[in-house]
Structure 1
Amino acid sequence: MDGNGIISLSATAVAMGSLGVSWIQARTVRTHNRKSVRPHLQMRQVKNYGDRTTGLQVINVGLGPALITGTTVTLDGRPIGQWNKGTYETLAADWPAAPSMYALFDGIAFPQGACQYLIHLDEYDDAAHAWFWELICRRLSIVINYESFYGGENLRASPPPI
């Protein structure tokens, strides 16, 4: 092999190495970008927040918007349906008072930093509304399935046990 062949082989090896490094770097940047906008929904039961509001709250503490892909409601361990107005009206028909609610629909975006009550009473009183606190802490479960706009993560948020 003469000098030109060695130079050609060396140039090809350097080019292939550069291509490999570029591919690895591009993959790392894509992974970083996906994680840098990943949402993280947390749910919590709030008692007497602010004035006298008590309820079940969802917060997006992640770095990007959460795309809602579905919800599941159970009452006393029995599946009821999705968290929408119809399910709420069915459940609330048996309650002593009608709390306010916020429905979640498939395909809506829950913005980064957003904080929203899914169900709440504005004028909560321990004596009059003990049934409501028991409901949101032990009986009612709303599970939210979501993902980032990149998709495919199949993330889930549910109320913590109390």
Structure 2
Amino acid sequence: MSELKQQITNEMKAAMRAKEKARLTTIRMILAELKRIEVDERIELDDTRVLAVLDKMSKQRRDSISQFEEAARMDLADAERQELEVIKTFLPQPLTEEEIAALVKSAADSSGAQSMQDMGKVMAILKPQVQGRADMGIISKLVKEQLSG
């Protein structure tokens, strides 16, 4: 079992003991999603893949929050925010804007990227480095600026 998945399982047990219902529900949802992927693909998830799943779940929560706020459903937006906070506890420390900019420049230099046609090369280098630590939409925007600038 991956280290991160073991940590999530341990947190579930701690939430059960502490009778933290909201946290427990979210952790169970995370574990259910991980289990679904393992069963569907007949694999054992490693930490990298678990991080990718957590990153996807946090992005879904952020999207839901903005949609619920637009629809003036603050009760549902608050519920999504609580889930997002629990999911964030399992993600690594987010990168600062300076760190992201440095990684983008480094990846562009090391790949020899000259134009927008080389964006895929740069993104391929960046993705494993920033997975779960930064929004890929922001990374993509910075790469475009770097390559067009």
- Using the size of structure 2 for normalisation, the TM-score is 0.28
**Structure number having the greater strand percentage:** 1
Q: Which has the higher helix share?
A: 2
Q: Which has the higher contact order (CA 8 A, sep 6+)?
A: 1
- Taking structure 1 as the reference length, the TM-score comes to 0.26
Instruction: Answer with 1 or 2: which has the greater Rg.
Output: 1
